[in-house]
Amino acid sequence: MTPENMDLSETIRVLIDRGALFVGCHSGGKDSQALLCILRSIVPADQLLVLHADLAEVEWKGTLEHAKKDAGNLPFRVCKSETKTFLSMVEKRGMFPDPQRRQCTSDLKRGPMEKAIRHYLKEPGNEHFLRRGLVVNCMGMRAEESASRKKLAPFKLNEKCSVAGREWYDWLPIHDMKLEQVWRVLREANRDVHFAYRRGMSRLSCAFCIMSSEPDLRTAAVHNPELFQKYVELERSQGRSMLMPKKGLPQFLEDVVGMSVDEVKAAMHRRETGESHHVRIESEDDSTYIDVLDPSCAHELFHARLGEPGKASFLSGDPAYLLEDGEVQVYLTREEIISLMAGTMPVDDVDRIEIAKGPLFTASEMRMAMLPYRMPPAPSMEEAAAYAMPCAA
């Protein structure tokens, strides 16, 4: 009976007993960390290898170091393309990868990693792995991430790599995990995550990915201004956007991020000089803007524009403005909005809103955990006036 036809847990047990080399592909992200936690729990340490594909300047700073730290005392190897980088590949092709032609994955990750595994089998001291020629390549793709990943087989024979006496399998140990399960695994294992998540990123590896969400792209731009400029310059020189067109129109990074290269640099300068604040207020054309969260001004989600007062405040009955928080719509005064966003609204008032209107993301523990910098909050307009400053978002 072939492994594909056996119960998967039994399949893995048999492969372990046969002395297979299990390779944990580690991008440095949360899914890779959860993957490694699972592998550590079932595979003997002397049958594990942690492998990282180095994407150099296009990945978040510290990614390689974080992956290595997460590997601990397990064998750790780094691989990279010997002929190209992401930026040189885009320059040569005259276009960015797209969902149908993801050369970044095939040329910069999969190819170099397969080559690195073959080399590892030949390293001194690994003669037993070479003799057996039995490899299980473990990756952290999850079905929940996309429709295409949902269709991936959790376990299969890799026919292309099963040559020269090798028997090579591809395994997705966390394929059926939900996002909350991934975070739970990491909490229970007491694993530190890359700092990019605390900046508000939902995924890691390339700072600017063709699959990234708009909030992720905004966060990446402010924290990687020089790299953002390089991507923008590539778009300009090629006349093509990094992202796929939307309704037939190109989506250029500056438009998606909502900031030009110069505005991103200015936001980063404010951060570095300590001139950015937790709460900012602007007045323009008789409208009030309240911007809260990351001092970089990267998160449009918390950039509220208040026009004329509308209905009465849900809490006080005073003239108020409409605040939209996900699917929740509630009228609050400016002072109440600031206290909610700054995390200083009384718990009883938050409870009143959530009981009547639904859960507020702005008041959630998750949102508070996302705040990378604890700036002095401004619970009143008078105190908030000291924080008034231009905001790029």
User: Starting at the edge strand that comes first in sequence, how are the strands of the sheet with 303-306 ordered?
Assistant: 279-284, 287-292, 303-306
Residue 103 has pLDDT above 50, yes or no: yes
Residue 332 has pLDDT above 80, yes or no: yes
CB 362 within 8 A of CB 302: yes
Residue 52 has pLDDT above 90, yes or no: yes
Rounded to an integer, the average pLDDT of 90-105 is 82
Residue 379 has pLDDT above 90, yes or no: no
What pLDDT is attached to residue 37? 96
Highest-scoring range by mean pLDDT, 28-32, 292-296, 355-359: 28-32
Tell me the average pLDDT of the chain. Answer: 81
Placement of tokens 């592909």 in the chain: 25
Highest-scoring range by mean pLDDT, 56-70, 272-286, 299-313: 56-70
What pLDDT is attached to residue 366? 61
Residue 340 has pLDDT above 90, yes or no: no
What pLDDT is attached to residue 180? 85
Cβ-proximal residues to 187 (8 Å cutoff; 6+ apart), any chain:
none
Rounded to an integer, the average pLDDT of 121-128 is 95
Give the orientation angle of helix 63-71 with respect to helix 30-42, to 10 degrees: 20
What pLDDT is attached to residue 272? 64
Q: Which residue has the higher pLDDT, 114 or 273?
A: 114
- pLDDT over 90, % of the chain: 45
Highest-scoring range by mean pLDDT, 52-66, 192-206, 332-346: 52-66
Alpha-helix runs per DSSP H in 195-252: 195-198, 214-223, 225-238
What pLDDT is attached to residue 343? 67
What pLDDT is attached to residue 279? 47
Cβ-proximal residues to 249 (8 Å cutoff; 6+ apart), any chain:
none
Backbone angles phi, psi at 351, to 5 degrees: -60, -40
Strands (E), the chain: 21-25, 48-53, 76-79, 134-138, 155-157, 167-171, 243-246, 249-251, 279-284, 287-292, 303-306, 321-325, 328-332
What pLDDT is attached to residue 359? 86
Confidence band of 20 (pLDDT split at 50, 70, 90): very high
Rounded to an integer, the average pLDDT of 276-285 is 48
Q: Which residue has the higher pLDDT, 4 or 51?
A: 51
pTM across the whole model? 0.72
Rounded to an integer, the average pLDDT of 266-289 is 54
Backbone angles phi, psi at 217, to 5 degrees: -65, -40
Largest CA distance in the chain: 78
Tell me which DSSP letter residue 47 carries.
G
Rounded to an integer, the average pLDDT of 263-269 is 74
Residue 266 has pLDDT above 80, yes or no: no
Confidence band of 368 (pLDDT split at 50, 70, 90): low
Rounded to an integer, the average pLDDT of 341-360 is 84
What pLDDT is attached to residue 271? 60
Q: Which residue has the higher pLDDT, 333 or 70?
A: 70
Rounded to an integer, the average pLDDT of 251-270 is 80
Confidence band of 302 (pLDDT split at 50, 70, 90): very low
Residue 98 has pLDDT above 50, yes or no: yes
What pLDDT is attached to residue 307? 66
Tell me the residue type at 76.
Answer: F
What pLDDT is attached to residue 297? 39
What pLDDT is attached to residue 7? 62
Placement of tokens 């399998």 in the chain: 169
Q: Looking at beta carbons, which pairs linking 96-100 to residues 24 or more positions away fall under 8 Å? A: 96/210, 96/234, 96/240, 96/241, 96/242, 97/210, 98/210, 98/244, 99/148, 99/210, 99/211, 99/244
Rounded to an integer, the average pLDDT of 111-117 is 95
**Residue 20 three-state SS:** coil
